[in-house]
Chains A and B, each alone.
Chain A
Amino acid sequence: MFVDSHTHMISRTTDDYERMAAAGVVACIEPAFWLGQPRTHVGTYIDYLSMICGFERFRAGQFGLRHYCTIGLNSKEANNEELAEAVMEILPRYALKEGVVAIGEIGYDEQTALEDKYYRLQLELAKELHLPVMVHTPHRDKRQGTLRSMAVALEHKLDPSWVVIDHNNEETVRDVLDRGFWAAFSIYPFTKMGNERMVEIVKNYGAERIFCDSACDWGVSDPLAVPKTAELMRRAQIPEEHIRKVTYENPLAAYGKSGQIKEEDWLNPPSIDQRTLYMGNSVLRGGQSPRIDEGKRGVDDNLKIS
């Protein structure tokens, strides 16, 4: 079983859902983000947030995946002040929806003053609502942006064990782990992390507070990144318990602090969900132990993502 803790499923096809389910992905988390182009009205933002906790959750359930989301104003759109102000007004309405596991993805893009303002405001919102935080670290000037994200979170007195720093690489991981934050790695061709590099990271740093995700979206990306990376780690003789932490237990522990994502959701879902929302297969019902080798199903031999 795998948890993919960063997926923009609204951009993915039903084929992707089928392949993810076949490969053993049981749950995915959809962080609120931009759409590849900026929104210009708060109304479209409202519909977007309704969609990621509405139709997309339903769609995932049809394929046997449990779908969760994070709610937030992303760093790119934080630069449109009029939009940002209006979005901040509506965020509290969405942050307590069922299945919202964090405030996120928030943080810096170009590290502007407006990005900084809304990042801080949302850190305060997360504290107020007792929600974890998913931090998007910038693609450009990554190391400084990552250090700054953490410094500001600590300045606002967030407990680092409630904050996931995402999109890490070899240059940032040590600082993140040393400060007590969760270190997530997006396995993403070309721009972020290849999964062979991920294997090396787990070899070097172990599995404490480390996990990987696919960050699959509208760009070139791989929704099977987590199961493929698990298999690659297995072939590299990484211990099974480490693989399990990096691809399942750690994201569950980090986002589970919200109280909104639990193993029970897919192993033994509430009756009302089984009748309405979750067409999960009944392979794993209460009491049975999950099988780690499930991930081999549906993953071909072309495992490398680079």
Chain B
Amino acid sequence: MANAGIAALELLRAWVARTVPNEGGSWFEQQIALMFSGPTEKQLYIALGYAIRRLGKQDLDLNSEDLVAASTARPGWNPSDWSVDQAARLSFVLASDNDDGARFKARLEQLFRTADIGELITFYRGLPLYPHPRLHVARAREGARSAMQPIFEAVAHRNPYPMEEFDENAWNHMVLKALFVGSKLDPIQGLDRRSNPALMRMLCDYAHERWAAGRPVSPELWRCVGPHADRDAIVDLKQVLKTGTVVEQQAAALALQASSLPAAREALAEAPDLAKHAAAGEPGWAALAEAS
């Protein structure tokens, strides 16, 4: 197991141990020992199957120290909304790894194939912790195509894996799909770093589709437009700046602020009050995501 996986497994074990009462906790540790010893497939899926029955599904309720420990063990790892069954199941999966990448991948695929919805969420959330990250790209993309929003979000939200492993096409479609299914963009890690001109164009086209249908456009969309805006995009942003709701206007101003085109400066000059706040980074994309 890679070092990050070992460190993550230690944290997961500690969190499970302090969350569940004694009896469940000792069952959990027995299973972990079994997983380290090289379990049969049946032993693994029985452990996974009994996880909720033995441990429940209460939140881990991690504190800020835990989250620092998480991101130290594995940069970008954010288990802030994980539950105990998820931690336990991923502990089993990680502990059963015996440094054979192909075998791990085959086993993980098998688990995905026969997973229930809670397990799907769990296994996708585990993506940043698995060894040989490259091997799981196709699987991660499958999750990002899901018609089930919680599955999609298990890949897209609070997960460093897509930012690190998705190519531009996969990335762009994940961001567009987030808007499409009504998921927020702000919890997507690397949103600003991975934005690109092709995505900017897809998003502006999507905004036009929404406008043509008389439907609202998420203010968050403009976040990935601003830094790569072309002249057409500036026209769109000017329109939003003039006629949008308050939140949309704030978003357009922030997007224009992120553009280096002179036309963007000119557009902002026409709305000095919004421009002043945007220059100070207010209200910020996280706040706009909350408000939208």
Contact = CB atoms under 8 A, between A and B. Distances in A.
Contacts of B116: 50, 53-54, 57, 97-99
A67 B162 CA distance: 31
Interface residues of B, number: 28
Contact of A94 (B57, B114, B117): B114
Contact of A57 (B56, B114, B117): B117
A239 B81 CA distance: 45
B246 to A, nearest CB: 28
A277 B113 contact: no
A53 B148 CA distance: 13
Contacts of A96: 46, 49-50, 53
A54 B120 contact: yes
Nearest to A96: B49
Given A96-B50, A270-B57, A276-B150, A58 B45 contact: no
Given A93-B45, A96-B46, A273 B57 contact: yes
Interface size class of A (residues with CB under 8 A): 20 to 34
Contact of B150 (A98, A259, A277): A277
A272 B79 CA distance: 13
Given A46-B114, A96-B49, A270-B83, A55 B148 contact: yes
Contacts, number: 64
Contacts of B147: 55
B217 interface: no
Contacts of B175: none
Interface in A267-295: 270-273, 275-277
**What does DSSP make chain B's interface, helix, strand, loop or mixed?**
helix
A151 interface: no
A99 B52 CA distance: 10
B24 to A, nearest CB: 14
A276 B150 CA distance: 5
A53 B113 contact: no
B117 A58 contact: yes
B59 A53 contact: no
Contacts of A46: 113-114
Given A93-B45, A98-B52, A272 B57 contact: yes
Interface string B256-267: 000000000000
B140 to A, nearest CB: 18
Interface in B80-94: 81, 83, 86
A90 interface: yes
B9 interface: no
Interface string B34-67: 0000000010011001101100111100000000
30 contacts: A50-B113, A50-B116, A53-B117, A54-B116, A55-B117, A58-B117, A58-B148, A58-B150, A58-B151, A93-B49, A96-B46, A96-B49, A96-B50, A96-B53, A97-B49, A97-B116, A98-B52, A270-B56, A270-B57, A270-B58, A270-B83, A271-B58, A271-B59, A272-B58, A272-B86, A273-B57, A275-B81, A276-B150, A277-B117, A277-B118
Interface of A: 46, 49-50, 53-55, 57-58, 90, 92-94, 96-99, 259, 270-273, 275-277
Nearest 6 A/B pairs, CB to CB: A96-B49, A276-B150, A53-B116, A272-B83, A97-B116, A58-B148
Given A50-B113, A54-B148, A96-B53, 17 more contacts: A50-B114, A50-B115, A53-B117, A55-B148, A57-B117, A58-B148, A58-B151, A92-B42, A97-B49, A98-B117, A98-B118, A99-B116, A270-B57, A271-B83, A273-B57, A276-B121, A277-B118
